[in-house]
A and B are shown apart, each in its own frame.
Chain A
Amino acid sequence: MSLFQLLNGLTFAALLFVVASGFTLIFGLLRIVNLAHGALYLFGGYIGYTVAIRTGSFVLGGVGAMASIAAIGLVLDQGLLRFVRGNELRQVLLSLGAAFFLNDLALVIWGGDSFTVPIPQMLRGGMKVFGTFYPTYRLFVLVSGVVVFAALWLLLNYTRLGALIRAGVDDAEMVEASGVNIQRIFLITFLLGSALAGLGGLIGGAFLSLYPSADAEILVFSLAVVIIGGRGSLVGVGVGSLLVGLLNTLGQVMFPELAYFVIFGPMAVLLAFRPLGLFGRAT
């Protein structure tokens, strides 16, 4: 694998990290497998695209995507998932229904054409990395992945909210019993996770482009990341994203038509030995 392909794999892994970290936060703390996460990604991308086109600002696009997806997350959580609390299976299937709805709604609003979020002027073109010419924007994606990882790491390990989230992942009832309003922590986590999906949509929309089935594709990758990494673990998502990102790139180079299949191998091996993922813990 050449450096170019390695970088491709790493940048894809960075995007996966942004999307899947939101997924695993929600999964780990609320025990909700939010299958609408892919649809939130796509919506975030479309909204970010629209805002970025209207205002001409990539940053505003990002803010708009995150804010509006957090708002959709709020409706999803408080308006729908609230009614099926405590029943994992019903939650999953409900979120799946929501995913279908959102996907079709996106098709109504933005149509079936594919869009690419405009890249800001300063990130266009390329630069030399260890003697290889590489698109600047994709390096930016790599950096954003690392920044999001660092920010989440700091949030989870050095703030009160983070401590509560970690405690909630381990035992939500105990946290509640010690006088913390866990429902509020749940809600904040859900909004944060959704916002990350929106951010991922904007970032990904600028180099993978946005089209009606992009949500399903990113969802499969996120699922693979979480299945490999284990739920609720930030390090797990990081390692899972790297594995899936690199393997996917390797697969695309070696078997372009069967690239999907290549992420299936490690998932299978892993499940045989660690059904809960590399960093997952039984509860």
Chain B
Amino acid sequence: MTTPFSPNPSRLAGMTGRAAIVACLVVVVAACLPLLLSNYQVGLATEVLIFGILAMSVDILAGFAGRTSLGHGAIFGVSTYVVVYCTAQIALPPAVAFTLGVLAATAIASVFALLAVRTSGVYFLLLTLALGMIIWGICLRWTQVTGGENGMRGDVRPAMLLSHSAFYWAVLAGAAVVSFLMWRFVRSPFGLTLRGIRDSESRMRSLGYNVPLHLFIGFTVSGFFAAIAGALYAMFNNFVSPSTVALAQSVEGVLMMIVGGVGTLFGAFVGAAAIIALENVVSAYTERWQMVLGITFVLIMIFAPEGIIGKLRAILSRKVR
């Protein structure tokens, strides 16, 4: 689960030269996609990037602090709601709305964090689930502000980002920056402390680390990234309804993270691509996406809890041996 952390003198912003080249190549290839794909597919690719960010933010907690959150969909959705509300109801410029959305959702995340740092294991999961559901309940019932079940239509995307490819490139740039930041975050001394907490809370405590404070900050930072994904989603979808904050959102985030591999961080994009592709294939044949999602979840939990990538790696290494 842990990637070996080897100090290397020749580094570019903490990245080895080779990793930097690979990262650049991936971004360049991703940037070329709109030239090859149809508008619809570019839309899907944008969605993959946005949900990849969400899944990575879940992975910061699950993979590096050992706490699986089922409340990140709600943080994501709060950001979406605030951005749509600010642009549609009080006609703020998109940039301001974006900032407000991220701030509001980060604030919610810090409230979640305050409560959740006292718990671990299943209790953490339950608590984040309950908190997320409360947000969902409020979004559903507080009709005056949220539009209730009908949701709200926004006018979020600035004019220069209206075309599919332009928006895709903007999201790609955002995703690249955010991924880099998250990668730096989990490799920082702070991130290493989180890993220490994951592996042995009591040992870290006896070494003098303030465990609750670290978890609090870790959760808030993770929530901040989920909030960015949510604000991007507001721009992508131009619409928000309670299903954006529903449990299914958190569950999809967690599922993408697990499929991509817990603790791999960038695997989140692979997971997001796999789940979104599955969703699209399934939706072409049946309306029962939720059922398929449930079955997928059950099957992955039984057969490949370490993620599809981890599973493939395990199968391959067995074959090689």
* Chain A residues engaging chain B, CB cutoff 8 angstroms: 31, 33, 35, 80, 83-84, 87-90, 92-94, 96-105, 107-108, 213, 216-217, 219-220, 223-224, 226-227, 256-261, 263-264, 267-268, 271-272, 275-276
Q: Contacts of A219 on B, CB cut-off 8 Å?
A: 133
- DSSP class of B's interface residues: helix, strand, loop or mixed? helix
Given pairs A96-B70, A107-B290, 7 additional interface contacts (CB within 8 A): A97-B298, A104-B288, A108-B288, A216-B136, A216-B246, A264-B131, A271-B127
**B231 close to A (CB within 8 Å):** no
Kindly state the separation between the CA atoms of A129 and B271 in the bound complex, as whole angstroms: 58
**B188 close to A (CB within 8 Å):** no
Kindly state the separation between the CA atoms of A218 and B70 in the bound complex, as whole angstroms: 17
Q: Which chain B residue lies CB-closest to A93?
A: B301
Q: Which of B126, B246, B293 has the most CB of A within 10 A?
A: B126
A-B residue pairs in contact (CB < 8 Å), sample of 7? A89-B68, A92-B122, A100-B297, A104-B291, A223-B126, A257-B138, A257-B142
Q: Contacts of B140 on A, CB cut-off 8 Å?
A: 213
Q: Are A216 and B247 in contact (CB under 8 A)?
A: yes
Q: Are A220 and B296 in contact (CB under 8 A)?
A: no
Q: Contacts of A92 on B, CB cut-off 8 Å?
A: 122, 125
Q: Contacts of B296 on A, CB cut-off 8 Å?
A: 97
Q: Are A101 and B126 in contact (CB under 8 A)?
A: no
Q: Are B119 and A94 in contact (CB under 8 A)?
A: no
Kindly state the separation between the CA atoms of A85 and B298 in the bound complex, as whole angstroms: 14
Q: A92-B125, A271-B119 given as contacts; is B134 within 8 A of A260 (CB)?
A: yes
| Interface bits B4-31 vs A (CB < 8 Å: 1, else 0) | 0000000000000000000000000000
Kindly state the separation between the CA atoms of A106 and B122 in the bound complex, as whole angstroms: 27
Kindly state the separation between the CA atoms of A267 and B126 in the bound complex, as whole angstroms: 12
* Chain B residues engaging chain A, CB cutoff 8 angstroms: 68, 70, 115, 118-119, 121-123, 125-127, 129-131, 133-134, 136-138, 140-144, 246-248, 251, 254, 258, 288, 290-291, 293-298, 301-302, 305
The residue from B118, B129, B246 contacting A35, defined by CB atoms under 8 A apart: B129
Q: Are A101 and B122 in contact (CB under 8 A)?
A: no
Q: How far is the CB of B191 from chain A (nearest CB, A)?
A: 21
Q: Are B123 and A94 in contact (CB under 8 A)?
A: no
Q: A84-B301, A98-B294, A105-B291 given as contacts; is B130 within 8 A of A93 (CB)?
A: no
Q: Are A220 and B134 in contact (CB under 8 A)?
A: yes
Q: Contacts of B144 on A, CB cut-off 8 Å?
A: 257
The residue from A87, A104, A264 contacting B294, defined by CB atoms under 8 A apart: A104
Q: Contacts of B127 on A, CB cut-off 8 Å?
A: 227, 271
Q: Are A226 and B126 in contact (CB under 8 A)?
A: yes
Q: Are A217 and B137 in contact (CB under 8 A)?
A: yes
Q: A101-B294, A104-B288, A271-B118 given as contacts; is B133 within 8 A of A261 (CB)?
A: no
Q: Contacts of A84 on B, CB cut-off 8 Å?
A: 301-302, 305
Kindly state the separation between the CA atoms of A223 and B134 in the bound complex, as whole angstroms: 11
The residue from A100, A213, A224, A275 contacting B130, defined by CB atoms under 8 A apart: A224
Q: Contacts of B137 on A, CB cut-off 8 Å?
A: 217, 220, 259-260
Q: Which chain B residue lies CB-closest to A88?
A: B122
Q: Contacts of B293 on A, CB cut-off 8 Å?
A: 97, 100
Q: Are B143 and A100 in contact (CB under 8 A)?
A: no
Q: How far is the CB of B55 from chain A (nearest CB, A)?
A: 14
Q: Which chain A residue lies CB-closest to B144?
A: A257
Q: How far is the CB of A82 from chain B (nearest CB, A)?
A: 10
Q: How far is the CB of B146 from chain A (nearest CB, A)?
A: 9
The 6 closest A-B pairs by CB, nearest first: A97-B297, A100-B294, A101-B294, A260-B137, A104-B291, A97-B298
Q: Which chain A residue lies CB-closest to B258?
A: A93
The residue from B115, B130, B254, B291 contacting A220, defined by CB atoms under 8 A apart: B130
